Structure 1
Amino acid sequence: MPRLILASASPPRRDLLAQIGIVADAIIPADIDESPLDGEQPHQLALRLAAEKAAAIAPDHRDAFVLAADTVVGCGRRILPKTGTETEARQCLDLLSGRRHRVSTGIALAVPGKSILSRRITTIVTFKRLSVEETAAYLASGEWAGKAGGYAIQGMADAFVKDISGSYSNVVGLPLHDVAALLGGNGFPVWARP
């Protein structure tokens, strides 16, 4: 059975893979600079970072499939941060309140003996207009910490989602349909693992 390395320490990504019966043989997060380039748009950043993560891990594991991903929340051309402070999270929620935004995930797969393959998947999410109480409760929950765009759809913020067009799992952090297709299409036995 070929080995699979997940180049991400994200618990939601690990859990999403497990949801379709895939358990990575190793989790090795890539240590790269995730700063956007000048003029880079959200979807471009997601794709570039995923490819860079795969490229950082693959050379030391040439016999394994290396799966990397990066999720970026964009509002227009603006890239929202992975929020580290309550102030950042409040700014994100204020911006997203009552608006549509795009969640782009870049996925990259290093295939043994081949080059790195990558794809970008985008989901459009529309938030309801948030009340002061809703924003305060969400900030108090702490769910926003380290989340792209300041929210986790798989938690309390799901109540803010008025409409979603595209992959739900993409917003969580890994578009399962596309990941399974990319792995299976390149020789990884997605449905044959014990």
Structure 2
Amino acid sequence: MTKPKGPFTTVSPIVLASGSPRRRELLADLGLEFTVHPSPLEEPAPELNEPPQDYVKRMAELKTLDVARLYTGQTVIGADTIVVLKDRIMGKPKDDAHALEMLTALSGKTHQVITGFCMVMPDGSDITKAVSTDVDMRNSTDEELRAYIATGEPTDKAGAYAIQGVGTFLVTAINGSYTNVVGLPVARILQILLQNSLIKTRQ
């Protein structure tokens, strides 16, 4: 269980269906207590002509529902994040060469970071949404990108960069939710949790 420290407290048990340290930190910063149980399912590739928002919501549902069957009567939250450049979906890079190809394509352009999230409520109902944020990237040289890849940070990141890490130097501006780019649209999830009395303000 996580140690509470933020302005909210958990009313009903919460399970995070993700192994992402970034998502875990974002929820913990709110003050919530939760159990972490990642789904072991492999993520299938997008279907032919599948819109990015549909794909990312499908991935979020796939992982969340897989975990939720083990936690009846609890709130289960899962998410999936992708980077999209002109309808091209970018997941995590396969290797350094793939990371360089992704970062080169993103350099000097505006792309979208889309996070799909699924929340299974204690009564078994579920809510699935997708949130999109525009991200502007600076023009980076090949040498800069190779040096960034050498840090190892891009390895497990959608689009091969982390806005909250070393990769912050790549980004010139964002339009939309910052936490969505990190991996979880906190404000949207918080709103649903509060509306359903699953959490409350810490007294």
Q: TM-score range by the shorter chain?
A: over 0.9
Partner of 1:46: 56
Distance 2:103 2:133 in 1: 18
- Say whether the 8 Å CA contact 1:43–1:72 is kept in structure 2: no
Counterpart pick for 2:36 among 4, 23, 27:
27
Structure 1 pair 190/140, CA: closer, same or farther in 2 (3 Å)? farther
Give the match's secondary structure for 1:74. strand
Counterpart pick for 2:147 among 137, 150, 157:
137
Please give the root-mean-square deviation of Cα atoms over the aligned residues, in Å.
1.4
Cα deviation for residue 133 of structure 1 reads: 2.6
**Which contiguous aligned blocks of 4+ residues in structure 1 show a shift greater than 3 angstroms?**
none
Distance 1:156 1:38 in 2: 34
TM-score, reference length from structure 2: 0.90
1:100 pairs with 2:110: yes
TM-score, reference length from structure 1: 0.94
Question: Deviation digits for residues 61-88 of structure 1, max 9, x if unmatched?
Answer: 1111000111011111111121231011
Cα deviation for residue 32 of structure 1 reads: 2.5
1:60 pairs with 2:70: yes
Question: Deviation digits for residues 45-74 of structure 1, max 9, x if unmatched?
Answer: 111111121211112211110001110111
Q: Share of identical aligned residues, percent?
A: 36
Give the match's secondary structure for 2:83. strand
Structure 1 pair 190/157, CA: closer, same or farther in 2 (3 Å)? farther
How many aligned positions are there?
A: 192
Distance 1:97 1:49 in 2: 27
What 5-or-longer segments of structure 2 have no aligned partner?
1-10
Aligned amino acid, residue 125 of structure 2: S
Aligned amino acid, residue 3 of structure 1: P
User: How does 1:1-194 map onto structure 2 within 5 Å?
Assistant: 1-24=11-34, 26-35=35-44, 36-192=46-202
